[in-house]
């Protein structure tokens, strides 16, 4: 089976990872489109019999890093739409406490260094093996394990209110409005 035939099956995973990396659905869609365009233009470089998902994530990761390097020279992306209608139509109702937990986790992920966030997302969200993550990010497997361990610990600290300096942050006083 040619890689061009497999691309469609990987789009949901690519979108999920891109959304987690960028934090913006429009930028994520652009990143997915760039990834697919790059994969199609270089389909002859794909080695048959290897993991297409890992190959696509490698392409996406490299494109994202390139975009991050160019980011200071570019203007900030501002969405013209306040809400994403497609997401609102398919959204599942979530209780308010769960919504706050998800918001806090998303915020904690944003505070992770980029190299730790990428590995935490690939292992935790995309359920990739350490070997596949190492191949995708072009780092040794020991580096993957180390960054994952530090990233998970940092997430635990952030979610429990421990600051990067080791001190305890005072939780924000939230008021329930009815």
pLDDT in tens, 8-19: 888 999 999 998
Q: Is the Cβ–Cβ distance between 109 and 59 less than 8 Å?
A: no
pLDDT, tens only, 32-43: 999 999 999 988
Using CB atoms within 10 Å of the CB of residue 67, give its burial: 0 to 12 exposed, 13 to 18 middle, 19+ buried. Answer: middle
Report pLDDT for 50: 82
Confidence of residue 151 (pLDDT cuts 50, 70, 90): very high
Radius of gyration of the chain (CA): 18
Q: Is the Cβ–Cβ distance between 53 and 13 less than 8 Å?
A: yes
CA–CA gap between residue 142 and residue 151 (Å, rounded):
14
Three-state SS at 168: strand
Report pLDDT for 88: 54
Give percent above pLDDT 90 in the chain: 29
Q: Who has greater pLDDT, 55 or 80?
A: 55
CA–CA gap between residue 21 and residue 15 (Å, rounded):
10
pLDDT at 178 over 60: no
Confidence of residue 159 (pLDDT cuts 50, 70, 90): confident
Beta-bridge mates of residue 162: 168
Confidence of residue 47 (pLDDT cuts 50, 70, 90): confident
Q: Is the Cβ–Cβ distance between 171 and 161 less than 8 Å?
A: yes
Q: Who has greater pLDDT, 142 or 85?
A: 142
First-residue to last-residue Cα distance in the chain: 57
pLDDT, tens only, 58-83: 999 999 988 888 766 555 555 555 45
pLDDT, tens only, 89-109: 555 666 777 777 878 888 888
- Helical axes 3-22 vs 52-70, angle rounded to 10°: 40
Per-residue tokens: 177: 């409005």
Using CB atoms within 10 Å of the CB of residue 48, give its burial: 0 to 12 exposed, 13 to 18 middle, 19+ buried. Answer: exposed
What is the mean predicted confidence (pLDDT) over 43-68? Answer: 87
Per-residue tokens: 143: 């580096």
């Amino acid at each position: 089976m040619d890689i061009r035939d497999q691309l469609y099956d990987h789009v949901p995973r690519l979108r999920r990872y891109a959304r987690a990396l960028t934090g913006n659905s429009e930028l994520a869609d652009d990143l997915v489109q760039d990834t697919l365009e790059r994969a199609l233009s270089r389909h002859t470089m794909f080695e048959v019999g290897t993991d297409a998902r890992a190959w696509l994530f490698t392409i996406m990761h490299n494109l994202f890093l390139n975009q991050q390097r160019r980011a200071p020279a570019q203007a900030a992306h501002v969405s013209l739409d306040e809400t994403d209608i497609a997401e609102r139509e398919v959204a599942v109702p979530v209780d308010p406490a769960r919504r706050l937990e998800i918001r806090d986790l998303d915020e904690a992920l944003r505070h992770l260094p980029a190299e730790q966030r990428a590995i935490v997302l690939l292992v935790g969200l995309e359920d990739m093996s350490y070997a596949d993550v190492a191949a995708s990010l072009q780092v040794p497997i020991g580096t993957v394990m180390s960054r994952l361990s530090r990233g998970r610990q940092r997430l635990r600290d952030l979610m429990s209110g421990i600051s990067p300096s080791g001190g305890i942050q005072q939780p924000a006083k939230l008021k329930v409005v009815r």
